[in-house]
Amino acid sequence: MADSVRLPPPDEHRLVAGGFTEVVEGTSAGAWDNPAPVEGWAARDVVRHLVEWSRSFLASSAAVELPEGPSVDDDPVGAWRIHAGAVQALLDDPATAGRTLSNPHTGDLPLDVAIDQFYTGDVFMHTWDLARATGQDETLDSERCAAMLAGMEPIDEALRASGQYGPKVDVPADADVQTRLLAFIGRDPR
């Protein structure tokens, strides 16, 4: 994301994860099994993805073991709260700035930068998925959308090769920046 939008990693996570938390807490009990915009996922799978991949990524690449919360199947709200709180505590810990995340795909990065770049950005984009699946406000911050899109477009081929993004969806050239970002990552915003 652009420097004009980016906050220091702890503050960025607090803001972005806070927005996701609002959507998690606004999800009615009966909506957790609603289909999500990611093929084959239900709403609870959006939370599962954010909790599980980041735990695994941090454990294997930085020897960070986050505390486990309840099962996403049993308590998606509780699972998210504990996970988001653990990531925030990690980012708020002054010692984190001296730690390194080492991964063959990303190289060596300061841990707080790696969390910010890979995880917090993912939380931001998946906020739309959960909101769409559960019938909540889907509006994302337009400045963050623009910054993310500007940062991702130059590495389009690498992103597609990673298998983490679907094919781009065609949208009108004059579509708003949120629509263009969602289409870029393979979501059909219609």
The pLDDT value given to residue 113: 92
pTM of the model: 0.92
Does domain 9-138 match CATH 1.20.120.450?
A: yes
The pLDDT value given to residue 2: 38
Q: Domain residues of the chain, as ranges?
A: 9-138, 141-190
Which is it for strands 100-103 and 107-110: parallel, antiparallel or unpaired?
Answer: antiparallel
Report long-range pairs for 78-82 (Cβ below 8 Å, ≥24 apart): 79/47, 79/48, 79/51, 80/20, 80/21, 80/24, 80/47, 80/50, 80/51, 81/21, 81/24
The pLDDT value given to residue 5: 62
The two tokens of residue 48 are: 């599962």
Contact 110, 97 (CB under 8 A): yes
Please list the pLDDT of the chain residue by residue as tens digits (190 residues): 334 467 999 999 999 999 999 999 999 999 999 999 999 999 999 999 999 999 999 999 999 999 999 999 999 999 999 999 999 999 999 988 789 999 887 789 999 999 998 899 999 999 999 999 999 999 999 999 999 999 988 988 888 887 778 889 999 989 999 999 999 998 988 7
